[in-house]
Structure 1
Amino acid sequence: MSGSAAEHGEDMRRHGDGGGRALLDALLEGRSDPGLAARAAGALGLPERGRYVVAALAAGGCGPAAGVLEADGLRFLRRGRGGDREVLVVALGDRDPAVLAALLARWCRGPGGIGPVADGLAGLGTARRLAEVALLTCPPGTSEVVRLEERLPAALVVSQPQLSARLVEDVLGPLLAAAPADRALLLRTFEAWLECGGSAGRAAGRLYCHRNTVLNRLRRLERLTSRSLTRPRELIEMMLALDAFRLTAQRP
């Protein structure tokens, strides 16, 4: 950090000790006590109104960084969330949230989720909850840092685990009863086909097989699910069921 940035960071650390951290935690919990945001703004040396973003990460995902710092023109406040998660509150200024996603992808090993922009400190509770939903859209074992806006369908799935379980059972039940290797092959083929924009030829190249092999697997998938990939509503059901299976059925 530059000298001025370091001085600013030290000033924020002094402000953020004790009461400032407690006020920030209260905002992140979604408390709406009268004057809470104004008191936190004064204690932390931040504007009450302004553009803020919250990122949710696995604990230690960004290394042993200080509680408050400034980098790339952004101000960061770091808070723990239990033993396995932490959040970064970012004073975004006039920067594009995509800048933050790119920055965290370089800094952090992931996975991580970034919520929508909050208009002021009072919105940090909602921003934190949505950042944690975004984090849940990262499949187990991945290291990506994603924005909620990029994962809205998957966010709907992980936000409703009971409905997601019903969706998986209803749409994929017969498929999940198949041998694990066969099930994995059909689901991977479906994923590749989706990632390739519905092109069997491109999916075949990705899977190192013939185009007709892809088409045969997709027809088997249609028979097992009793749904057609050519009917939009049924395709949407299958896509959401795939997300639900990947993101909820396999979580510990």
Structure 2
Amino acid sequence: MRQRGDEREWALLDALLDERGRPDLVTSAGAVLGLPERGRYAVAVLPPHGRPGSRTPDAQGMRFLWRPRPEREIAVVALGEADPAAVAALLSAGGLGPGGVSPVVDRLAALGTARRLADAALLTCGPGGEEVVCLAGRVPAALVAGQPALAAYLATDVFGPLLARDPADRALLVSTLDAWLECEGSPGRTALRLCCHRNTVLNRLRRLEELTSRSLSRPRELVELVLALDAVRLLPRGVSSPSGD
């Protein structure tokens, strides 16, 4: 009987997550699942771990409804007053990463959209990622990760000369750019983070500009550099041209 009950709940969750729910079905699903049609919801998506529900109890006013699938485990989370960051933290603490968590949606009928956004967040974890992450703050990376052929082209087009250099030199320049971005473009703060002189940071950034033929002071070229940096991080096996050369 419990198995039949699970299967019924899973069928209803599938209809909501795959956007197959007519208005009357959404109402019925909410009644069976004990979820109001209007409320604060998020969706979490993780690679399969078996049956995680027993390892992720409801907490902090949140309620988890798990839908295991062969290729994914999906949780519909009734947030209460919590936010998606609390979902990510709870799942990470349970060792269930990598995973992605959607932004808040305000009704059951929007769970399909939330599921797609959670899928996009998961893509930003990249190869070997272990964190459960929220989509907020990762939208550019999600756009890059969702287009692998374009990401490979972008990485080679922007960073091609840099990627051909010695790996240690390449890592030094890329890490300097990453730190400079994290420090909001401040060479002084970047130098403190990297434990080097401010002039050293400026010299590395100038070398990066020369190798990429892009300027950090031109907004469009800076956008290309940032997106290419995400592409380099997210490509599964190094960087290759779209033709495979």
TM-score (norm: length of structure 1): 0.82
2:104 and 2:177 mapped to 1: Cα distance? 34
Deviation at 1:226, TM superposition (A): 0.3
2:5 and 2:140 mapped to 1: Cα distance? 37
Q: How does 1:218-237 map to 2 (within 5 A)?
A: 218-237=205-224
2:171 and 2:85 mapped to 1: Cα distance? 33
What stretches of structure 1 of length at least 5 have no aligned partner?
A: 1-12
| Residue-by-residue CA offset, 1:116-173 (whole Å, 9 max, x unaligned) | 2223222211111110101111233333332212211112212222322222122111
Provide the residue aligned with 1:36 in structure 2: 25
| Residue-by-residue CA offset, 1:190-224 (whole Å, 9 max, x unaligned) | 11111122222332333233332222221111111
| Residue-by-residue CA offset, 1:173-202 (whole Å, 9 max, x unaligned) | 121222222222211111111112222233
Match of 2:162 among 140, 163, 175: 175
| Residue-by-residue CA offset, 1:84-126 (whole Å, 9 max, x unaligned) | x312110123433333333334334522211122232222111
Counterpart code for 2:143: L
Once the two structures are overlaid, the 10-residue window that deviates more, 227-236 or 45-54, is: 45-54
Match of 2:194 among 207, 219, 222: 207
2:55 and 2:95 mapped to 1: Cα distance? 15
The SS at the match of 2:136 is: helix
Whether the 8 Å CA contact 1:193–1:199 is kept in 2: the answer is yes
Counterpart code for 2:12: L
Once the two structures are overlaid, the 10-residue window that deviates more, 89-98 or 168-177, is: 89-98
Matched, 1:71 2:69: no
The SS at the match of 2:165 is: coil
What stretches of structure 2 of length at least 5 have no aligned partner?
A: 240-245
Overall identity of the aligned pairs, in %? 62
Deviation at 1:69, TM superposition (A): 4.9
Match of 2:97 among 104, 110, 116: 110
Counterpart code for 1:81: R
Deviation at 1:16, TM superposition (A): 4.8
Deviation at 1:40, TM superposition (A): 1.9
The SS at the match of 2:65 is: strand
Shift in alpha-carbon separation, 1:177–1:90, aligned structure 2, 3 A: same
Counterpart code for 1:82: P
The SS at the match of 1:35 is: helix
1:144 and 1:126 mapped to 2: Cα distance? 22
Matched, 1:48 2:11: no
Provide the residue aligned with 1:166 in structure 2: 153
Deviation at 1:33, TM superposition (A): 4.2
Deviation at 1:225, TM superposition (A): 0.5
Provide the residue aligned with 2:11 in structure 1: 22
1:15 and 1:227 mapped to 2: Cα distance? 60
2:27 and 2:3 mapped to 1: Cα distance? 18
Matched, 1:217 2:213: no
| Residue-by-residue CA offset, 1:58-91 (whole Å, 9 max, x unaligned) | 3339x843399532211101122324x3121101
Provide the residue aligned with 2:243 in structure 1: none
Once the two structures are overlaid, the 10-residue window that deviates more, 220-229 or 169-178, is: 169-178
